[in-house]
Each structure stands twice: as structure tokens, then as C-alpha cells.
Amino acid sequence: MNYPKGTAIKERPHNKSDINYANRGMNLEHDLNITNEYYRDQDIAHIYKKPTPIKIGKVNYDTMKITEAFFESPSTTDYNGIYQGKYIDFEAKETNIKTSFPIKNIHAHQLKHMEAIVRHKGICFLIVRFNKQNETYLLFAKDLLDFIKDTKKSSIPHEYFVQKGYLIEEKYHPRVDYLKIIKEFGGAK
């Protein structure tokens, strides 16, 4: 059973602090970091965002300051860790497009990595936030890969997330409670 579209958002009281909170929702990475911090503090799960891969060029070894470096593209997803003894692995993306999510936002080697994790029985998924609607969905990697395999489209319609994904309830603490969905539906997929 998926959450009805938009329910979690509509149910929140529309007071001032709530409006500020909604604005902060623009930064999914930040929300996930504090969610993962909450999970760790409560000893529910130990999931981290991997550091951004950087190729170091020059270092001043007296001060240990890096004076030249470049961003590299990641070979895996951004987040991984352990929950209830299981391996958890996911990628998180925001989009400002209302009607769809561009597939090119996920690198080819990230998709290959997700395939491997599914094959090895890890719990793997994509979290996408549609900024315009302020809706955050969890889509299991299997459903993501199924869509990509069967399509010639360059993007995944918002409707596909509504149908196949799970709307993540946004709360104060934990902010983006994605493990609630894993707990209920994660074993089945």
C-alpha cells in the first residue's frame, strides 16, 4: 500500500514554524543527514553519506592545506550502511521539474552498482524529492531498473513514483523517515 499522494504534507499544521520548515525542505541532503544522525543517536541504523570523491592535486604539507583538487564522479551511490543486520544502499536526488525525473541525474555506473546490490540481496533504492510539490518518494531499485530497462524515455514520470514508489512522510524528527517504508515494505521487494 502506498501513501496517498500528498497526505503527509496536507496533514501538517500550517503555522509559521511549519512554513520555515517547508523551505528548509529544499535541501534533501541536509534532511537526510539529520535523519541519519537521528537513526544513529537512537541506535536504529548506522547509515552515512559517503564523502564527495575528490582528486587531490597539490598539498602544502606544512599546513596540510590542499591547494589544488578536482571533483570526481562517484562510482557508487551516495549513502550506505546497516539496518536490522541488512545492507542498505541508496541514492538521493532533488528535481525542480514538476512532471518527471530525468534519468541522466543518475550516472550509468551508479545504475550498474544498484543492479549489483539488488543481485546480492541488499536493500537498494532511490529517494527523489520533487521540489515543486515538496514530495519525497522512495522508489526501490528494482522498480527503477525495470522502468529504465523497458523504456526509451529520458525521464521517469512523476506518476510512476506515485504508482510504484512510496511517499515519505516528513516530520520534525526524524525529518525524512525512509526506514519506516523499509521496515514495512523493504523485505517484500
Query: Which amino acid, one-letter code, is at 153?
Result: K
Q: Are strands 86-95 and 123-130 parallel, antiparallel or unpaired?
A: parallel
Residue 62 found at the interface with a second copy (CB under 8 A): no
The nearest distance, CB 121 to a second copy, in angstroms, is 4
Phi-psi region of 62 (alpha: psi -120 to 50; beta: other; left: phi over 0): alpha
Q: How far apart are CA 75 and CA 70, in angstroms?
A: 15
61 binds a second copy (CB under 8 A): no
Q: Which is nearer to a second copy, 83 or 185 (CB)?
A: 83
**C-beta of residue 88 within 8 angstroms of C-beta of residue 47:** yes
Cβ at position 6, least distance to a second copy in Å: 34
Contact call for residue 142 and a second copy (CB under 8 A): no
In 3D space, the residue among 134, 132, 140 whose CA is nearest the CA of residue 178 turns out to be 140
Stretch that binds a second copy, among 9-17, 103-111, 113-121, 146-154 (CB under 8 A): 113-121
| 38 counts as binding a second copy under rule CB under 8 A | no
Shortest distance (Å) from residue 47 CB to a second copy: 10
| Choice between 66 and 153, CB closer to a second copy | 66
Does residue 66 belong to the site contacting a second copy (CB under 8 A)? yes
For residues 123 and 114, the answer to whether their CB atoms sit within 8 Å is: no
Neighbour-count burial for 42-62, b at 16+ CB within 10 Å, e otherwise: eeebebeeeeeeeeeeeeeee
Can residue 30 be called a binding residue for a second copy (CB under 8 A)?
A: no
Residues near a second copy (CB under 8 A): 40, 43, 45-46, 48, 50-54, 56, 64-72, 75-76, 80-87, 89, 113, 116-117, 119-122
